[in-house]
Structure 1
Amino acid sequence: MDAHKGLALEVAALSDVGCKRSNNEDSFGYDQASEIYVVCDGMGGASGGEIASAAAVAEVIRSFSESPGDGATAEERLYDAIVNANARVLELAQADARLQGMGTTLVTACFDARRIVIANVGDSRAYFLRHGACHQITFDHSFLAEQVRNGTMTEEAAKASPLQSLITRAVGTGESISPDLFDAELEPGDMVLLTTDGLTRYADAPEIAQVVGNAADLQEVCARLIDVAKQAGAVDNVTCLLLRAVEVAGNTAAA
């Protein structure tokens, strides 16, 4: 990990096929040199979901890492990377009839000085953890979440609905893309979780906070979160990427 104005990010990630699926359509990736982190949950016939999610992860990392840092904000670089990922997934779908209609959700984070900048499309989520509390950062782009937000459905009814997988925005399903962006100032010990709905169907923010606790080993925490979903049946793939801000000694110039 690299020093960055007194803070650096530790990272761990894990993905599991779950209890019902035979293939994993989730993908994750990161580049600590560029401080970019991505989780995607693909959808599509045949192997389309796997291809869409992997392509989106790779393109966001490539695009963000290669974008010039001078003159562009972290939000602008992240937005442009998602636009490029959308174009890449759409290009792949249009080039192969078997992949038409494929797409993917996306949640991504980049580290900018002492800020974390988050963007999402679809229902993969980001959570912010501080001092034992956990808060959902992102808003789901899904039919059920939008019904709850506009007051036409209760959360209890949404949880019982068979329409859990019906999303209203995705990467690669249209020419345009409209990600949401968020940011937060980080303090040492803060954590950010990027995860797919394979976990969030079974664990809400307080339950995530309880599982994470004060654990020292981030990889172990990812495994424990996945176990929560699997113990509940895990009908979908489950992916967790966990970041933790840590203090680092400042760099000193050589004499």
Structure 2
Amino acid sequence: MFSFLKGEDSLHAAKSDIGKKYTHNEDSFFIPEADATWAITDEKIDAGGRLYLLCDGMGGGQAGEVASSLASGWLARDFYGDPKEEIPPVRRLAELACETNARLYALAEAHDAYKGMGTTLVAAHVRDGLLSLVSMGDSRAYLFRNGCLRQLTEDHSEIWPLYTSGALTKEELRTHPRSHVLTKALVVRQDLTEDDLFMATESLEEGDFLLLCSDGLTDMVPEEEIRGVMMKKKKMAWKAQALVDAANRHGGRDNITVVLVRA
């Protein structure tokens, strides 16, 4: 799966790859382009700002694919269908994440095939130089500015507190055997609230790039190597493909999805 805007001044590029281990892809993403499936038009995007979503599904059978694709689709549809401009985008995204969680939980309860499904979420809204972020799980958002790569989100994982306390380095966090044990994800609980989500806003500068990615990238590729790809004076689509190729070169043990955004 590959999507990008053509031309020298692309605003975004996205690439999703199955990797080398699995036979199906449980990752999903949304980029702000007209989509008849979710009733999203160019006019709605112009009015609502640029929304980017990335979800990494989990669960047996095709349940992970269902959770991730519906989470990204429903959230995008509802955001553009009723942006509620009187509410700050970060609060609106958090509100919709909770509503999406309730819908997915009800679906999982109603169908045996979907029991145990879940998904991570990272949502990024860009408008008028302001980035609004909402996330849950271990999919991440990074800011690349002036040659520096900085993680903006926090992982909802069992060992993330060991990193924040200084007991683990970022590289040790990446390779730790418990790195995949999540403490939070969509559909795990019915009564999700905004307090369960990571929420943040960030002022953007000209020349900034945003990277959203699933753990299929960050578990495989050290951040310094990701930074090296971002440093290249190449088109966005080239960088997206290069990041996926790097993850597969390092083993490709999971689905890999990257979304690159020019601020």
Shorter-chain TM-score: what band? 0.7 to 0.9
The answer as to whether partners of 1:106 and 1:171 remain within 8 angstroms in 2 is yes
1:153: Cα distance to partner? 5.2
The answer as to whether partners of 2:56 and 2:68 remain within 8 angstroms in 1 is yes
Q: Which residue identity does 1:236 align to in structure 2?
A: D
State the SS of the aligned residue for 2:143.
Answer: strand
Q: Give yes or no for the alignment of 1:181 onto 2:199.
A: yes
Q: 1:194 to 1:154 in 2, by over 3 A?
A: closer
Match of 2:66 in 1: 51
Q: Give the alignment partner of residue 101 of structure 2, picking from 86, 95, 120.
A: 86
| Structure 2: distance between partners of 1:146 and 1:9 | 37
State the SS of the aligned residue for 2:91.
Answer: helix
Match of 1:101 in 2: 116
| Structure 2: distance between partners of 1:228 and 1:141 | 25
Q: Give the alignment partner of residue 226 of structure 2, picking from 186, 208, 211.
A: 208
1:137: Cα distance to partner? 0.5
Q: Which residue identity does 2:206 align to in structure 1?
A: P
| Structure 2: distance between partners of 1:38 and 1:156 | 26
1:69: Cα distance to partner? 3.3
TM-score (ref. length: structure 1): 0.87
1:9: Cα distance to partner? 7.9
The answer as to whether partners of 2:171 and 2:222 remain within 8 angstroms in 1 is no
The answer as to whether partners of 1:63 and 1:84 remain within 8 angstroms in 2 is no
The answer as to whether partners of 1:30 and 1:61 remain within 8 angstroms in 2 is no
The answer as to whether partners of 1:46 and 1:98 remain within 8 angstroms in 2 is yes
1:76: Cα distance to partner? 1.5
Q: Give the alignment partner of residue 197 of structure 1, picking from 215, 221, 226.
A: 215
Match of 1:220 in 2: 238
Q: 1:18-71: per-residue Cα shift (whole Å, max 9, x none)? A: 011111010001225131110000000111100000011011101211224332
Q: Give yes or no for the alignment of 1:27 onto 2:28.
A: yes
1:114: Cα distance to partner? 1.1
Q: Give yes or no for the alignment of 1:147 onto 2:162.
A: yes
Mapping 1:225-236, distance limit 5 Å: 225-236=243-254
Mapping 1:126-165, distance limit 5 Å: 126-150=141-165, 158-165=173-180
1:172: Cα distance to partner? 1.1
Q: Give the alignment partner of residue 121 of structure 1, picking from 136, 150, 154.
A: 136
| Structure 2: distance between partners of 1:231 and 1:77 | 38
Q: 1:150-190: per-residue Cα shift (whole Å, max 9, x none)? A: 45656565444322321110011111332111121112211
Q: Which residue identity does 1:76 align to in structure 2?
A: R
Q: Which residue identity does 1:22 align to in structure 2?
A: T
The answer as to whether partners of 2:174 and 2:218 remain within 8 angstroms in 1 is no
Q: CA RMSD in A?
A: 1.9
| Structure 1: distance between partners of 2:168 and 2:207 | 37
| Same amino acid, percent of matched pairs | 35
1:239: Cα distance to partner? 0.1
Match of 2:255 in 1: 237
| Structure 2: distance between partners of 1:9 and 1:180 | 28
**Unaligned stretches of 5+ residues in structure 2:** 1-8, 34-44
The answer as to whether partners of 2:139 and 2:214 remain within 8 angstroms in 1 is yes
TM-score (ref. length: structure 2): 0.85
Q: 1:130 to 1:23 in 2, by over 3 A?
A: same
**Number of aligned residues:** 238
